Amino acid sequence: MQFASLLIALNILAATIWLLLKNRNAALILILFGMLMTLVAWLLNLPGVRQDFGSFVFFEMHAWAARVFSTRLAGSGLMVMLLFGYLEYMKTLKADSAFVYVTLQPLSVLRNNPNLACLILIPIGTLLSYALPSATAVGLLLVATLYPVLRKIGMSKMSILSILVATTLFDLGLNSPNANRAADFLGMDVATYSRYQLQVVFPILIIIVAVYYFFGRYKARKEGYDTPAPASATSEKDLAWKKDAPLYYALLPVLPLLLSVVFSFTLPQEAGASFLSGINGAILLSFFLAGLMDALRGRSYKKALNSMSVFWRGMGNGFASVVVMIIAADIFAEGLMRMGVIDTLVSLAGSVRIGKVGITVMLAALTMFSTVITGSATASFAAYGAMAPDVAFQFGADPLQVVLTVQLLTGFARALTPISIVIIALAESVDVAPIKLVRYHFVPIAIISLLTLIYLLTIPLI
């Protein structure tokens, strides 16, 4: 029954991909096929499904879909909506224009070679990922602040998004759910596990930057961005300040990011944990500080309150463009998991008898595959990471090396699926189809994953 359900699920997955490539209504397709797989799992009487849905499956499925909406809205969906609201407010204050102007001054040196931006952005984004627990939050904050700046220096939309995805590849630090889970699987504290992570991060970061630089050069030639734009009236206009807002307003768009990073290093873990969760607190605090600054500058609280009201409109835009897609991907991923896809692949991994290098490669490949088809790095790593130490021991492999390899590559796999939260959030925020973004950077991410696997299999961990 397990393999029959896997075969059905893969056929439904193929139909979903085909329809997405045809640019059909992505959110509706994901929701309908997710519910279809749940219904099939109920009809096949797969473990746990009938207990969850009872005999009135038609009504219970819709109640379940409603619960997914409410759960996601209370989690990362709320963070996305708050961020969209804040960015809408920044546009109203013209703070985004001030930020673009200030940032363009040093970055204008990249006009002659925009591809060098990856040498700066990827390390900065990786550092932010270490401080913040949410890859989606980091990606959205970077796309909101740096996307317009990078467009001004001549980078294409897809190359910018691809680089910003590269900044979210790592699951690092004390706040990372998968890092904490990996430490738990190995029976060590997360601080010790993070130290082992840091041993391998810097060489892998060099691999990522190098691959992206040469990939960017190739794409620039192919897309016609390889010829530097000469200094012209247009470039001078971009660098000129129109005085739409005070220059100190340039601080406001990045204020949530600054608050999150500062508090992550200064507050005690107990005090900062709830504040940093999804950075919702940082966004709201930044919103009220920006409103207070605007009221003091304009000396009119009525005008300031009217400007602040656009925050709610921005939240609605975020729900319509991004959150609905995230919820749809959740329902689809849950349908795949109810079909027993991950359980079947875990059974397959446990039944194969190969060498210690082979079992590491197999676990990494199966975890990445599960992440790609479900869109959830957390669920995939929870399944395979739990069995990794025991399997490593049986095959004479180092459990730490196996778990670390699987955990890091699971984060990379998020960039290879159009239904992961971070891909949906970044792509939809600038009106790009998630599957188009995945197709654009599939090759460099695949190369990075392969080189990272080879590196992690050959180095000793001290």
Instruction: Pick the range with the lowest mean pLDDT from 153-157, 229-233, 245-249, 445-449.
Output: 229-233
Instruction: Give per-residue pLDDT as tens, 297-321.
Output: 887 888 888 889 999 998 998 888 7
Question: Residue 230: which pLDDT band, with cuts at 50, 70 and 90?
Answer: very low
**Whole-angstrom distance, CA of residue 221 vs CA of residue 84:** 34
Please state, in angstroms and as integers, the Cα–Cα distance from residue 275 to each residue in 178, 247, 271, 285, 305, following that order: 20, 29, 8, 10, 25
Please state the rounded mean pLDDT for residues 313-334.
85
Please state the rounded mean pLDDT for residues 76-100.
85
Predicted pLDDT at 334:
84
Quick one: what percent of the chain has pLDDT higher than 90?
A: 14
Please state the rounded mean pLDDT for residues 169-190.
85
Nearest CA to 364 out of 388, 386, 348 is that of: 388
Please state the rounded mean pLDDT for residues 218-231.
61
Please state, in angstroms and as integers, the Cα–Cα distance from residue 38 to each residue in 11, 45, 185, 333, following that order: 14, 10, 30, 10
**Whole-angstrom distance, CA of residue 133 vs CA of residue 445:** 22
Instruction: Give per-residue pLDDT as tens, 135-163.
Output: 887 888 888 888 888 888 878 889 899 99
Predicted pLDDT at 280:
80
- Mean model confidence pLDDT for the chain: 81
pLDDT score of 59 more than 90 = no
Predicted pLDDT at 227:
45
Predicted pLDDT at 191:
85
At residue 68's C-alpha, the angle toward residues 8 and 409, to 5°, is 65
Q: Which contacts (CB < 8 Å, 24+ apart) does range 441-448 have?
A: 441/162, 441/165, 441/166, 441/215, 441/415, 442/416, 443/215, 444/162, 444/211, 444/212, 444/215, 445/165, 445/166, 445/169, 445/412, 445/415, 445/416, 446/416, 447/211, 448/169, 448/207, 448/208, 448/211, 448/412
Q: Which residues, other chains included, contact 43 with Cβ-Cβ below 8 Å and sequence gap of 6+?
A: none
pLDDT score of 272 more than 50 = no
Say if residues 215 and 122 touch (Cβ distance below 8 Å).
Answer: no
Please state the rounded mean pLDDT for residues 57-68.
84
Token pair in block for residue 348: 């397959």
Question: Residue 350: which pLDDT band, with cuts at 50, 70 and 90?
Answer: low
Question: Residue 340: which pLDDT band, with cuts at 50, 70 and 90?
Answer: confident
Predicted pLDDT at 271:
45
pLDDT score of 442 more than 90 = yes
**Three-class SS of the chain:** CHHHHHHHHHHHHHHHHHHHHCCCCHHHHHHHHHHHHHHHHHHCCCCCHHHHHCCCHHHHHHHHHHHHHHHHHCCHHHHHHHHHHHHHHHHHHCHHHHHHHHHHHHHHHHHHCHHHHHHHHHHHHHHHHHHCCCHHHHHHHHHHHHHHHHHHCCCCHHHHHHHHHHCCCCCCCCCCHHHHHHHHHHCCCHHHHHHHHHHHHHHHHHHHHHHHHHHHHHHHHHHCCCCCCCCCHHHHHHHCCCCCCCHHHHHHHHHHHHHHHHHHHHCCHHHHHHHHHHHHHHHHHHHHHHHHHHHHHHCCHHHHHHHHCHHHHHHHHHHHHHHHHHHHHHHHHHHHHHCCHHHHHHHHHHHCCCCHHHHHHHHHHHHHHHHHHHCCHHHHHHHHHHHHHHHHHHCCCCHHHHHHHHHHHHHHHHHHCCCCHHHHHHHHHCCCCHHHHHHHHHHHHHHHHHHHHHHHHHCCCC
Q: Angle between the 356-374 and 434-458 helix axes, to the nearest 10 degrees?
A: 160
Question: Residue 237: which pLDDT band, with cuts at 50, 70 and 90?
Answer: low
Which has more pLDDT, 330 or 230? 330
Instruction: Give per-residue pLDDT as tens, 282-298.
Output: 888 889 999 999 888 88
Instruction: Pick the range with the lowest mean pLDDT from 97-111, 315-329, 405-419.
Output: 97-111
Which has more pLDDT, 87 or 48? 87
Say if residues 209 and 118 touch (Cβ distance below 8 Å).
Answer: yes
pLDDT score of 2 more than 90 = no
Q: Which residues, other chains included, contact 75 with Cβ-Cβ below 8 Å and sequence gap of 6+?
A: 278
Q: Letter for the amino acid at 237?
A: K
Instruction: Pick the range with the lowest mean pLDDT from 89-98, 233-242, 342-351, 385-394.
Output: 233-242
Please state, in angstroms and as integers, the Cα–Cα distance from residue 350 to each residue in 9, 51, 342, 366, following that order: 21, 27, 12, 11
Token pair in block for residue 361: 């490669």
Question: Residue 275: which pLDDT band, with cuts at 50, 70 and 90?
Answer: very low
Predicted pLDDT at 349:
63
* Domain residue spans of the chain: 17-74+321-458, 76-313
**Whole-angstrom distance, CA of residue 61 vs CA of residue 332:** 13
Predicted pLDDT at 208:
94
Which has more pLDDT, 131 or 436? 436
Instruction: Give per-residue pLDDT as tens, 44-58.
Output: 888 777 777 776 777
Instruction: Give per-residue pLDDT as tens, 110-119.
Output: 766 777 888 8
Predicted pLDDT at 243:
63
**Whole-angstrom distance, CA of residue 256 vs CA of residue 314:** 16
Please state the rounded mean pLDDT for residues 93-107.
78
Please state the rounded mean pLDDT for residues 8-23.
84
Count the alpha carbons within 13 Å of 72 in the hemisphere toward its beta carbon: 22
- Biggest distance spanned by C-alpha atoms of the chain: 74
pLDDT score of 429 more than 80 = yes
What's the pTM?
Answer: 0.80
